[in-house]
Structure 1
Amino acid sequence: MRILLIIHRLLQGGGTETHVMNLANQLRRRGHQVGIFTSGGLWAKKARELGIKVHQQKFTSKQLSQVILRNNYSVIHAHDTRSLRLIEHTEIPSKTHAFLTIHGMYIDGPLIRRCLNKTSRVIVVSPALQTYVAHVGVSSSKVTLIKNGISMTDFKGTTNKRLRARYRIPDNVKVIGYAGRFTLQKRLLGKRVVKILEGISRSRRDVWVLVAGRGSQLSVKNSVRCRVLGHVDDMQTFYNSCDIVIGSGRTAIEALACGVPTIAVGTKGYIGPVLRSTWLKAVKCNFGDHVLNRMKWTNEKLRNDTHNLLHRSNRVNSELKIIYRRVRLQYSDITKVKEVEQMYSNWLRPRPVYRRGSQFPR
C-alpha cells in the first residue's frame, strides 16, 4: 500500500508525534511505501533517516492534493486538528481512502462531523474517546478503537544508572520522575506536580526528582535534589533511572512497560497508582489523558500515593508484575500496527462482483 500520514508539525516528544513516527516506521518495515505530509519540525530529519518520505510543504489543501496525485497514495491518514481541516477542504481522489485518528478531546466535534463524508473510518485511541465522538454525533458504525502502541523493544526494564551518574545522584536514594510536555494546555499541571515533588524532596534527603519534557526548562528550575532535563530523546534511560514515574497517556504506558511503578495523572484526571484496582479506569481514559468531566484531586493525595509507592508492600509488588505483563500484552506497537494495516486493507480490497445466476461472488 501507498500510505500518507498527515500531521501539522513533527515536534519532538509529543504523544501524537511519537505515534505518527512509530506508525510510519512500522508500516515501512512491513513493506508499505509510507510518506508523512507536514509543515516541518525537528523530527522531520529523523523521519527521513528512518527511510520515510517526508513531504515538507505549506500545509494547504492545494499542496496536499498535489502530493496525493503525484505519489498515487491509496491511503491518507490525518492525526491532528490542522490535518482534519485539510481533509475537510481537500478534494480526495475516488481511489484514495481517508482515515482520521482522534488522539484527544481537544479536536472539535463539529470539525470531526464535517470530515465524515470524506472519511472511510474514524479511529479512537481510548474507550473515553469512543464516548466523546459518539457525543459529538459520530455513528458507532464509523468508529474503530485501536489503542496507542509502544515499542516493546525500545521500552523494557534494564539496570541503567547513566542519568544518576550524570546528575550526581547518589545510588542509595529514591528517584521520582515526572515526564510531560510543558505546553500551553499542560504547563499548569506540570508546574503543580513538580512543586509537590520538590516539597517531598526537601523534606526527605533520600528522595531526588527528575523532570523531563519539552518546555520543562522554561517553566521550572533546578533546585535542591530536583533536576530539570528538558526534552529527553532516550526515555527508556529516563524511566529506568526512576523508582517511580508520574505522567499520563504514552508516558504512563512506556514507564509501565519498563516495569517502573507509575502514578497516572493528566490535565483533567487523576488515576493514582496503576494497580489492579485502577487498571480498567486507567485504560478507559488513556491513563489520565482522556476524561469527559474534570476530576478534582488534592496535593495531599499525590503526596500520599507517592509515599505509599516508595514504601510498597509485597502485595503491591505482586500487582505491579501483573500490570507489567498486561501492558506488554495489550499495548505492543506491532499488534496495533497490524490492526491499522488490516483496517486499511479492508477498505482497499476490491468488492466481490456478483453475476446474475451466480450463487457466489467471483
Structure 2
Amino acid sequence: MNKKLNIMISINRMSTGGSATYVISLANELKQRGHRVTVVSTGGVLVEELTKSGIKHCTVKMLLYGSASSEPVTNGARYLASIISSWIIRPWRVLRFFISVIQFIKIIKCKNINVIHSNQPGPTLITYLASQITRVPFVTTVHGTLRTEFPPIGLRFIRKKFRKIIVISDEIKEHLIMNYQIDARKIAVIYNGIDLKKFYSDVNMTGLNTGNLTNLKRVAHIGGSGGGGLTSMLKAVPIIAQKVPDVEVVIPSADGEINILARKINQEFDREVVKIMRPTKDIIDIINSSEVVVAIGRSALEAMACGKPVVIAGRRTGPFGGSFGGIISKDNVPEIKKYNFSGRNSSEVTSPENIAEAIIKLLTDDNYRQEVGAFGRKIVEEEFNIEKIAGQMENVYLEVLEK
C-alpha cells in the first residue's frame, strides 16, 4: 500500500486480554508499514507496550457498555434496563458520553485522522458519532458473538449503517447476518493476527522462575483466570497425575476460589502440582516453558505460534451444545477456526475427564506432541501471520476511503 494513513484505533481498555493484544499487534504492524497510528482507550497496563513501540496513546474516559452476564433476559427487558440504568437513574452518564464524543472529535482533528477503526461496543458507539460529525470513514471489528437481545442503546441501528464491519471468525459473520440483518457484503472476515517475530519457540527462556523443567512436565492454562474452564482444568489434575506423576500445571494469576482449589490439590499431593504465577503482561515465557497449553481464542493462537500443542477447553456452549474443542489437529482445525478456537464447534461440554484425557495423550507420546505442535505453528504462519492480516486491513481501509 503506497498511501500512508493516519489511523485511529479505539478500544475499551488496554488491559490483558485478546482484544488489547489484537490492537497492539495490528498497531505495530501498521506502524512498520509506514502508517501513523493513534490508539485511544480508557488506559490500562498494556499502554506501556504501545509507547515502547513508539505508538501514540490517548486516554479518554469512556462509558463502557455491554454486560458479561449470562442471565437470560428478554429483548424488551434488556432494552428497558439499559435505558433506565444508563440514562435515567444516572443522568451524569449522558454528560460523560457527550464529553467522550467531543474528546474523540478533538483527537481526530488534531491527528488529522483518515480512518477510524473501533473495537468493542463502548468505543464503537462513541467513535461512530464522532466519525459522522467529522466525516471520517469508520470501520469496526467485532470480536465475539453478542447475545441476541437488544444491545446498548442505538448499537443495533448504527451497525446497519456501518460502511464495513470486520469480524475475526465466520461464526461472528453468521451471527451478525442472522441477528442484526447486516448485509453480508459489508462484512469482512479477517482473522486474529499473530506477530511471529514475537511468538515463536524459544528454548532459552528468561525472566521467569520456571522451576526444574528437566523433572517436570508442565501444562499451562492461559487466557482466563476464572470460569468453568479453569475449574475443570484443576479438577483434571488428580486424574492426569495418576498417569503422569511428574506433571505441573501453571496458571498465570487466579481469583480466590481458584486459589483455594489449587491449595487443596497441592496439599493432597504434598507438593506444588498447581503453580499460580504472579500476573504478567507477557505470557510468552510461560508458553515456552510448557509442554502443553490449554487455551481458547487468541491465547490458543499465540501458543500454536510457539509450536506448542493446544487443547481447546472453552466455557460458553455453542450451537451444538458443546464447548470442548479438544486437541487442535488437521482433522478439526477448519471447524475450530470457524468458531475462533472457542470450542463452540463441539457437541462435547468441557469437563475434567476430557481435559485430562487430551493432556495425558500429549504428555505420554513425545512424537505425537511434537507433531501437533509443528502443525499448529504451520497453521499460524499460513493463515494468522500479522503481516498478512495487516495487508487485509489496509484493503478495508482503502475500500471505505474510496466510498
1:173-192 → structure 2 map (5 Å cutoff)? 173-182=216-225, 186-192=226-232
Amino acid at match of 2:195: S
Show structure 2 runs of 5+ residues with no match. 63-99, 267-271, 317-322
- Cα distance, 1:244 vs. partner? 0.6
Aligned Cα RMSD in Å?
2.6
Tell me, yes or no, if the aligned pair for 2:216 and 2:248 is still in contact at 8 Å: yes
1:200-215 → structure 2 map (5 Å cutoff)? 200-201=240-241, 204-213=244-253, 215=254
What is the distance in 1 between the residues matched to 2:43 and 2:291? 36
Q: Does residue 143 of structure 2 align to residue 103 of structure 1?
A: yes
Q: Does residue 321 of structure 2 align to residue 267 of structure 1?
A: no
Q: Does residue 200 of structure 2 align to residue 156 of structure 1?
A: yes
Amino acid at match of 1:247: A
Amino acid at match of 2:193: G
Amino acid at match of 2:111: N
CA deviations on 1:250-286 (whole Å, 9 max, x unpaired) are 1111111111111012222211000111111211111
1:287-302 → structure 2 map (5 Å cutoff)? 287-288=341-342, 291=344, 295-302=348-355
Are residues 117 and 271 of structure 1, via their aligned partners in 2, closer, same or farther at CA, if it must alter by over 3 Å? closer
- Cα distance, 1:158 vs. partner? 2.1
What is the distance in 2 between the residues matched to 1:26 and 1:298? 38
- Cα distance, 1:91 vs. partner? 5.5
Q: Which residue of 2 aligns with 1:86?
A: 126
CA deviations on 1:309-342 (whole Å, 9 max, x unpaired) are 1123746654543333122211101110111012
Are residues 117 and 168 of structure 1, via their aligned partners in 2, closer, same or farther at CA, if it must alter by over 3 Å? closer
Show structure 1 runs of 5+ residues with no match. 352-362
Q: Does residue 170 of structure 2 align to residue 131 of structure 1?
A: no
Q: Does residue 318 of structure 2 align to residue 243 of structure 1?
A: no
What is the distance in 2 between the residues matched to 1:270 and 1:293? 6
Q: Which residue of 2 aligns with 1:356?
A: none
Q: Which residue of 2 aligns with 1:360?
A: none
Are residues 49 and 298 of structure 1, via their aligned partners in 2, closer, same or farther at CA, if it must alter by over 3 Å? closer
Are residues 252 and 331 of structure 1, via their aligned partners in 2, closer, same or farther at CA, if it must alter by over 3 Å? same
3-state SS in 2 of match to 1:86? helix
Q: Does residue 57 of structure 2 align to residue 54 of structure 1?
A: yes
Q: Which residue of 1 aligns with 2:79?
A: none
Q: Does residue 317 of structure 2 align to residue 279 of structure 1?
A: no
What is the distance in 2 between the residues matched to 1:45 and 1:168? 28
What is the distance in 2 between the residues matched to 1:97 and 1:107? 27
Higher alpha-carbon deviation: 139-148 or 192-201: 192-201
What is the distance in 1 between the residues matched to 2:249 and 2:368? 26
3-state SS in 2 of match to 1:17? helix
3-state SS in 1 of match to 2:336? helix
CA deviations on 1:281-309 (whole Å, 9 max, x unpaired) are 211111116x3898523321111111111
Q: Does residue 159 of structure 2 align to residue 116 of structure 1?
A: yes
3-state SS in 1 of match to 2:177? helix
Q: TM-score scaled by structure 1? A: 0.86
Q: Which residue of 2 aligns with 1:358?
A: none
- Cα distance, 1:217 vs. partner? 7.2
Are residues 234 and 316 of structure 1, via their aligned partners in 2, closer, same or farther at CA, if it must alter by over 3 Å? closer
Are residues 293 and 239 of structure 1, via their aligned partners in 2, closer, same or farther at CA, if it must alter by over 3 Å? closer
What is the distance in 1 between the residues matched to 2:366 and 2:213? 24
Q: Does residue 366 of structure 2 align to residue 322 of structure 1?
A: no
Q: Which residue of 2 aligns with 1:304?
A: 357
Identity of aligned residues (%): 22
Amino acid at match of 2:11: I
3-state SS in 2 of match to 1:209? strand
Amino acid at match of 2:169: S
Q: Does residue 67 of structure 2 align to residue 63 of structure 1?
A: no
Tell me, yes or no, if the aligned pair for 2:300 and 2:341 is still in contact at 8 Å: yes
